[in-house]
Homo-oligomer: A and B are copies of this chain.
Amino acid sequence: MTANVHPLHPAPASGASVPSLDPLVSLITADMNQVNSVILARMQSEVPLIPELAGHLIAGGGKRMRPMLTLACARLLGYGGTRHHKLAAIVEFIHTSTLLHDDVVDGSGMRRGKRTANLIWGNPASVLVGDFLFSRSFELMVEDGSLGVLRILSSASAIIAEGEVAQLTAQRRIETDEDRYLQIIDAKTAALFAAACRIAAVIAERDEADEEALDSYGRNLGIAFQLVDDAIDYASDGTTMGKDTGDDFRDGKVTLPVILAYARGDESQRRFWKDAIEGRRVSDEDLAHANRLLEQCGAVADTFARARHYGELAIAALGRFPDGEAKSALIEAAEFAFSRAY
């Protein structure tokens, strides 16, 4: 495994606080226990393979980022009921179903440091259990009974699927430009972040402007997370992400670091990138060369800079809400999103 670690940012000065998700996690710990109970209860089935496979991924140590956002946004709005527990579980079910299908689509073997479900149980089981979780999420929405929530989450689901198809179409196409790439990650990643936040405003019975603000927070946060994920795939040492570094490179995925390097490259560099994305350069040496090119032209650093931009938009969207523990935690989550390079 060859993987340069791009030294993009100096380590923070000793004593300076590093942004983390800890305040967010602390804020919603009690709520998340309720969410986990809902998740566990509602992923059950008489067909044993369903909880077995779903549990592998759901119980398997994800950050629960999206349900955390639903809970934290409900807290931000002073919501005093219990509907957010079920809604947060719904969001996690939708996310899990997309992960199961993603891993089939990508032929992935590792996620969150564990073997993927498709590797263990096969593609058919992953496809069908994903379908089950997705259907179950709609059953839970119907139980909640809000057409507003149903509208937001059904729309987000269709946008996610559309984004996944768009990404598949862009795969191995070096012509994909930055605009197209942003459209794709807006759909496949940011739409669910946005919806996870927005539904909190629906149950708290806030107006459209508050809904829009939370949507904007979630959407920009989602883009920041995805940009950093895509940068880290070239930058990490393979342990931080629980997936193999260079996966995107070997899969011919056109992510922003590659788009920038291709746009900035001379003729021979552009030929290298085209060959790589079209699958003709997949060795460890090729990946090492790719990493050198990315570093020379500042493509990874600039991907992080783009992430910071979106993270700051997320923070700005919170301006209308009252200061307090929830707002601080959500702000720090956005800072965490774009500072994961440290």
Interface residues of A, Cβ cutoff 8 Å to B? 45-50, 98, 101, 104-106, 123-125, 127-129, 131-132, 134-136, 138-139, 141-142, 145, 147, 150-151, 154-155, 157-158, 160-162, 164-166, 168-169
* Known A-B contacts A49-B165, A165-B50; A157 and B128 likewise in contact (beta carbons under 8 Å): no
Q: Is chain A's binding surface mostly helix, strand, loop or mixed?
A: helix
Instruction: Tell me which of B45, B142, B154 contacts A162 (CB under 8 A).
Output: B45
Chain B positions within 8 Å of A131 at CB level: 98, 101, 134, 157, 160-161, 164
Q: In the complex, what distance in Å separates the CA atom of A105 from the CA atom of B132?
A: 14
| B161 and A132 within 8 A (CB) | yes
Contacts of A161 in B (CB 8 A): 128-129, 131-132, 134-135
Give, as a whole number of angstroms, the nearest-CB distance from A96 to chain B: 13
Please state if A155 and B169 are interface contacts (CB–CB under 8 Å).
no
Q: Which residues of the partner chain B approach A48 to less than 8 Å between Cβ atoms?
A: 169
Report the minimum CB–CB distance from A6 to chain B (whole Å): 30
A47: chain B residues within 8 A (beta carbon): 162, 165-166, 169
Determine the chain B residues whose CB is within 8 A of the CB of A46 once the complex forms: 162, 166
Query: Bound state CA distance, A139 and B160, in angstroms?
Result: 13
Asked if residues A124 and B105 are in contact (CB atoms below 8 Å), the reply is yes
- Contact B157 A138, beta carbon cutoff 8 Å: yes
CA distance A166 to B124 in the complex (A): 12
Residues of B within 8 A of A142 (CB): 147, 150-151, 154
CB nearest neighbor in B for A150: B142
